[in-house]
């Protein structure tokens, strides 16, 4: 079994997979896209200096950039306020296609852009620009595009590569493009260590004047990986050790412990193997939560051992035959809870359900078929817990009074339940280290970009041409929203990528406007301004000229826009990043555009959480009903079935009442936990009611041992840094 686990089990650590699964949901599409393209392999490094020592910052940044480019897994490093390609060269290239890309609304803007009466002013303006500080750039554009239509096409990108704060002299940013895939954790861990080492060495030469912070998808990936692995390791080790300690203290048998450990290890291995077979991989959080299964599955061998210890020399096989109906029923009720867990539709819990179901089934079968033979030569000791005897006597003696207290508490608790506060923001379920990294990320990105992370306009169409056309429609809407101050900024793919349809429309309008009379007036305006007619007077275009979007995606420019374009055989996806905006206004405005929609990844996940909450309520209700139905089938009496279910259900209600008093916000995860608690704890009602030992004290002692080991296993989750655990 150990060899199979080592060779076959695949461990998954991607959080989107656990929270959203491998679905076609838009939120997952965006998350998958960000993890798979060049953007996901980028780091943003912020270098800052003390207010009194800013003069050396530019030189230090240049030196650091050169040193970082020498690292093995680094493709390219560039300043954060510049594109990763030469912007001036790009304008030079695009100026050749100015007549194809100059406007998103060529028919409406033709009168403004090609007004013959403005040609004199346009020629004067052209001369001023040629003599200005960026004359070299204007010259390279004007030789292909004398009317400077290229600048009109790129007007939305005019200020996108400038620092967003007046304090920019105190810091600078570098963008590093790495070679490894975003979730190659080992490679990125080594790269991040190398970045730290290079900065530390260089900073030491500068008398430690500078500090740095780093962010990017790989930083989050490595942070999450370290946090999850740490949690899995801590929870698994502590859960195992605590159960072993409790077991040895109460049963005092190393040999019995040995057999129990083998059964539990087999159950865990079976769970991991089955989960990998069903889902292709087992998530690390599934293993962490699955570690608590130790506390559930250990109940079956414990009851067998305790009942064997008090059976006056009876063979363990006889004992197992006697208590097997109770063990089987207890196992089935627990499994029902996990089946209901799978029906919630929550991807991570579906994994946990498969893990637990196969693990519990394995533990039950090994306890029934294998353990009795192993106990034949094992000395077992009876766990004589005096406090359990006192408690049982107290409850028996004061039964009526206790029932009255419980009834009163139930009335009070149920009256508190309407005060329950719901938590639907799943971001609060990320660990402390991820929360800290998110704050760093927001702080860094706010200084170089207006983008609101995870909030985009998402375009999905059947092919690339249709996606570009839809994106152009959405861009026009965003332009209007920006004019109305409902969107601060946005990052379109136009004019980097332009649909063939829009290129043809631009060309048709251009050719219609550029008449012989228009060209004659333009040449006269050039002469009056003292500009060269021979170099700037030709406004004609090639008939077969075309800007191929597919070729652009294969060019150097792909480094710049790759984060916004994803193409598959079945669909093309284009993303328009958004700055600060009014979500309701954007969503409403885009309803008229087929194939385009507003998407907030955080809101999408939280809507999923709200849906899961209702599903969890249904699952809790259905699970309770199925458990009750199973008890009815077993005992044929409603009163007996309700009495067995009552302790677990009553305890859960009390816990919800405590959350109300503490004003603790709860999520659908709490409901799932309640269902699992009932499914596990109903076993105690079954064991006590059936009393297979014929002695209630002995049965109660066996229940106490299993309760303490289960408690030890679940309590180990409290040391994890992930709030989900």
Measured between alpha carbons, how far is 210 from 202 in angstroms, rounded to an integer?
10
What's the pLDDT band for 559 if we cut at 50, 70, 90? low
Contacts 24+ apart (CB under 8 A), 29-36: 29/458, 29/460, 29/566, 29/573, 30/454, 30/456, 30/458, 30/575, 30/599, 30/601, 31/601, 33/566, 33/573, 33/575, 34/217, 34/563, 35/182, 35/183, 35/217, 36/181, 36/182, 36/566
Beta-sheet strands, E only, within 42-179:
42-49, 74-79, 171-178
Instruction: Assess whether pLDDT exceeds 60 at residue 161.
Output: no
> Contact, 593 vs 470, CB < 8 A?
yes
What's the pLDDT band for 478 if we cut at 50, 70, 90? very high
Instruction: Assess whether pLDDT exceeds 80 at residue 52.
Output: no
pLDDT value of residue 608: 66
| 28-42, 223-237, 242-256, 396-410, range with the lowest pLDDT | 28-42
Average pLDDT along the chain: 84
pLDDT value of residue 569: 64
Instruction: Assess whether pLDDT exceeds 70 at residue 77.
Output: yes
Handedness of CA 701, 704, 710, 712 (dihedral sign): negative
Instruction: Assess whether pLDDT exceeds 90 at residue 175.
Output: no
Q: What are phi and psi of 461, to 5 degrees?
A: -135, 170
Does the domain at residues 36-85+164-222 carry the CATH identifier 3.40.50.300?
no
| 377-386, 486-495, 554-563, 708-717, range with the lowest pLDDT | 554-563
pLDDT value of residue 22: 47
What's the pLDDT band for 171 if we cut at 50, 70, 90? confident
Reported pTM: 0.69
pLDDT value of residue 20: 53
Measured between alpha carbons, how far is 9 from 7 in angstroms, rounded to an integer?
6
pLDDT value of residue 15: 57
What's the pLDDT band for 84 if we cut at 50, 70, 90? low
Measured between alpha carbons, how far is 575 from 598 in angstroms, rounded to an integer?
10
DSSP state of 422: B
Give residue-wise pLDDT tens across range 103-142. Answer: 999 999 999 999 998 889 999 999 998 888 878 888 888 8
Q: What are phi and psi of 177, to 5 degrees?
A: -95, 120
Cα–Cα distances in angstroms (integers) from residue 73 to residues 41, 195, 276, 670, in the given order: 11, 11, 31, 43
> Contact, 219 vs 437, CB < 8 A?
yes
Instruction: Assess whether pLDDT exceeds 50 at residue 166.
Output: no
Give me 160's structure tokens.
Answer: 């996108």
DSSP 191-251: HHHHHHHHHHHHHHHTTT-EEEEEESHHHHHHHHHHHHHHHHHHHHHHHHHHHHHHHHHHH
Specify the DSSP element, H or E, that contains 574. strand 572-578
State whether residue 183 is helix, strand or coil: coil
Handedness of CA 309, 315, 316, 321 (dihedral sign): negative
Name, in order, each residue with C-beta under 8 angstroms of 715's C-beta and a sequence gap of 6 or more.
Answer: 242
pLDDT value of residue 577: 85
Instruction: Assess whether pLDDT exceeds 80 at residue 216.
Output: yes
Q: Which residue has the higher pLDDT, 430 or 662?
A: 662
Q: Which residue has the higher pLDDT, 86 or 548?
A: 548
Rg of the Cα atoms in the chain: 34
Instruction: Assess whether pLDDT exceeds 50 at residue 583.
Output: yes
pLDDT value of residue 83: 62
Measured between alpha carbons, how far is 607 from 618 in angstroms, rounded to an integer?
17
Rounded average pLDDT over 352-381: 91
pLDDT value of residue 2: 79
Q: What are phi and psi of 214, to 5 degrees?
A: -135, 145
Measured between alpha carbons, how far is 519 from 517 in angstroms, rounded to an integer?
6
Instruction: Assess whether pLDDT exceeds 80 at residue 13.
Output: no
> Contact, 360 vs 290, CB < 8 A?
no
Q: Which residue has the higher pLDDT, 51 or 108?
A: 108
Measured between alpha carbons, how far is 512 from 506 in angstroms, rounded to an integer?
10
DSSP 623-692: HHHHHHHHHHHHHS-HHHHHHHHHHHHHHHHHHHHHHHHHT--B-HHHHHHHHHHHHHHHHHHHHHHH-T
> Contact, 367 vs 301, CB < 8 A?
yes
Give me 662's structure tokens.
Answer: 């503490």
Measured between alpha carbons, how far is 346 from 222 in angstroms, rounded to an integer?
24
Handedness of CA 222, 224, 227, 233 (dihedral sign): negative
Measured between alpha carbons, how far is 110 from 103 in angstroms, rounded to an integer?
9
Rounded average pLDDT over 194-202: 94
pLDDT value of residue 132: 84
| 282-291, 547-556, 649-658, range with the lowest pLDDT | 282-291
Rounded average pLDDT over 321-337: 91
Q: How many other CB atoms are found less than 10 A from the CB of residue 668?
A: 26
The two beta strands, 572-578 and 455-461, are antiparallel
pLDDT value of residue 586: 92
| 561-565, 590-594, 679-683, range with the lowest pLDDT | 561-565
State whether residue 597 is helix, strand or coil: strand
Q: Which residue has the higher pLDDT, 229 or 215?
A: 215
> Contact, 360 vs 334, CB < 8 A?
yes
| 52-66, 251-265, 333-347, 700-714, range with the lowest pLDDT | 333-347
Report the helix count and the strand count for the chain, using DSSP H and E: 33, 11
Q: What are phi and psi of 422, to 5 degrees?
A: -100, 140
What's the pLDDT band for 571 if we cut at 50, 70, 90? confident
**Residues paired with 596 in a beta bridge:** 459
Instruction: Assess whether pLDDT exceeds 80 at residue 476.
Output: yes
Give me 431's structure tokens.
Answer: 């660990």
Give residue-wise pLDDT tens across range 499-508. Answer: 999 999 999 9
Rounded average pLDDT over 68-73: 91
State whether residue 133 is helix, strand or coil: coil
Q: What is the 3-state secondary structure (H, E, C) of 478-501?
A: HHHHHHCCCECCEECCCCCCCCHH
Of the candidates 264, 293, 259, the residue with the CA atom closest to the CA atom of residue 371: 259
Instruction: Assess whether pLDDT exceeds 50 at residue 1.
Output: yes
The two beta strands, 490-491 and 572-578, are antiparallel
Measured between alpha carbons, how far is 341 from 344 in angstroms, rounded to an integer?
6
Rounded average pLDDT over 2-11: 81
Terminal C-alpha separation, the chain: 27
Of the candidates 358, 190, 186, 353, the residue with the CA atom closest to the CA atom of residue 283: 353
CB-based burial label for 419 (10 Å; 0-12, 13-18, 19+): exposed
DSSP state of 82: S
Give me 595's structure tokens.
Answer: 């194939």
Give residue-wise pLDDT tens across range 620-659. Answer: 888 889 999 999 999 999 999 999 999 999 999 999 999 9
State whether residue 144 is helix, strand or coil: coil
pLDDT value of residue 489: 85
Instruction: Assess whether pLDDT exceeds 80 at residue 215.
Output: yes
Name, in order, each residue with C-beta under 8 angstroms of 614's C-beta and a sequence gap of 6 or more.
Answer: none
Domain ranges of the chain: 36-85+164-222, 93-160+514-546, 234-427+613-719
Rounded average pLDDT over 224-251: 85
In percent, the amount of the chain with pLDDT more than 90 equals 33
Q: Which residue has the higher pLDDT, 562 or 67?
A: 67
């Amino acid at each position: 079994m150990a060899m199979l686990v080592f060779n076959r089990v695949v461990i998954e650590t991607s959080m989107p997979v656990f929270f959203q699964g491998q679905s076609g949901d838009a939120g997952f599409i965006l998350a998958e896209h960000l993890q798979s393209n060049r953007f996901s392999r980028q780091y943003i490094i912020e270098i800052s200096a003390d207010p009194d020592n800013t003069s050396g910052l530019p030189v230090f940044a240049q030196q650091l950039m050169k040193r970082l480019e020498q690292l093995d897994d680094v493709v390219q490093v560039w300043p954060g306020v510049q594109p990763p390609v030469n912007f001036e060269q790009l304008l030079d290239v695009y100026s050749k296609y100015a007549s194809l890309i100059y406007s998103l609304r060529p028919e409406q803007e033709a009168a403004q852009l090609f007004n013959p009466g403005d040609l004199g002013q346009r020629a004067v303006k052209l001369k001023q620009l040629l003599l200005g500080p960026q004359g070299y750039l204007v010259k390279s554009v004007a030789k292909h595009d004398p009317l400077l239509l290229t600048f009109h096409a790129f007007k939305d990108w005019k200020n996108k590569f400038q620092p967003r704060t007046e304090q920019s002299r105190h810091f600078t940013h570098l963008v590093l493009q790495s070679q490894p895939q975003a979730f190659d954790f080992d490679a990125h861990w080594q790269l991040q260590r190398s970045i730290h080492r290079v900065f530390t060495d260089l900073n030491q030469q500068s008398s430690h004047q500078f500090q740095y912070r780093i962010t990017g998808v790989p930083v989050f990936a490595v942070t999450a990986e370290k946090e999850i692995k740490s949690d899995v390791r801590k929870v698994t080790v502590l859960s195992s050790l605590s159960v072993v300690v409790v077991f040895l203290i109460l049963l005092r048998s190393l040999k019995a412990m040995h057999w129990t450990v083998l059964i539990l290890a087999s159950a865990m291995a079976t769970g991991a193997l089955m989960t990998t077979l069903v889902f292709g991989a087992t998530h690390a959080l599934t293993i962490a939560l699955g570690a608590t299964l130790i506390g559930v599955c250990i109940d079956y061998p414990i009851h067998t051992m305790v009942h064997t210890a008090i059976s006056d020399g009876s063979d363990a096989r006889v004992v197992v035959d006697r208590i097997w109906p109770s063990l089987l029923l207890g196992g089935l009720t627990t499994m029902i809870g996990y089946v209901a867990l799978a029906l919630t539709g929550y991807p991570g819990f579906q994994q946990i359900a498969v893990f637990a179901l196969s693990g519990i089934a394995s533990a039950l079968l090994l306890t029934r078929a294998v353990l009795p033979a192993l106990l034949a030569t094992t000395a077992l000791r009876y766990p004589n817990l005096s406090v359990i005897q006192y408690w049982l006597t107290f409850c028996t003696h004061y039964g009526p009074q206790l029932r009255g207290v419980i009834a009163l508490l139930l009335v009070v608790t149920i009256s508190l339940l309407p005060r329950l506060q719901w938590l639907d923001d799943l971001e609060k379920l990320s660990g402390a280290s991820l929360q800290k990294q998110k704050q760093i990320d927001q702080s860094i990105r706010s200084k170089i970009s207006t983008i609101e992370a995870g909030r985009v306009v998402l375009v999905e169409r059947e092919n690339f041409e249709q996606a570009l056309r839809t994106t152009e429609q959405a861009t026009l809407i965003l332009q209007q929203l920006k004019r109305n101050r409902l969107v601060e900024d946005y990052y379109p793919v136009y004019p980097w990528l332009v649909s063939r349809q829009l290129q043809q429309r631009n060309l048709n309008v251009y050719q219609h406007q550029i008449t012989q009379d228009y060209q004659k007036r333009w040449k006269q305006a050039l002469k009056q301004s003292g500009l060269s007619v021979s170099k700037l007077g030709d406004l004609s275009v090639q008939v077969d000229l075309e800007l191929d979007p597919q070729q652009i995606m294969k060019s150097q420019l792909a480094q710049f826009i790759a984060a916004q374009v994803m193409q598959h055989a079945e669909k093309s996806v284009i993303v328009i990043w958004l700055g600060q905006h009014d979500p309701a206004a954007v969503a409403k405005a885009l309803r008229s555009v087929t194939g385009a929609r507003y998407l907030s990844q955080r809101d999408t996940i939280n809507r999923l959480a709200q849906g899961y909450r209702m599903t969890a309520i249904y699952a809790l209700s259905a699970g309770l009903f199925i458990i009750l139905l199973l008890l009815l089938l077993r005992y044929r009496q409603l009163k007996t079935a309700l009495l067995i279910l009552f302790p677990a259900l009553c305890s859960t209600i009390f816990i919800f009442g405590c959350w109300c008093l503490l004003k603790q916000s709860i999520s659908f995860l709490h409901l799932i936990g309640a269902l699992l608690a009932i499914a596990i704890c109903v076993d105690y009602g079954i064991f006590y009611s059936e009393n297979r030992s014929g002695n209630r004290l002995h049965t109660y002692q066996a229940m106490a041992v299993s309760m303490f080991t289960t408690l030890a296993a679940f309590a180990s989750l409290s040391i994890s840094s992930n709030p989900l655990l």
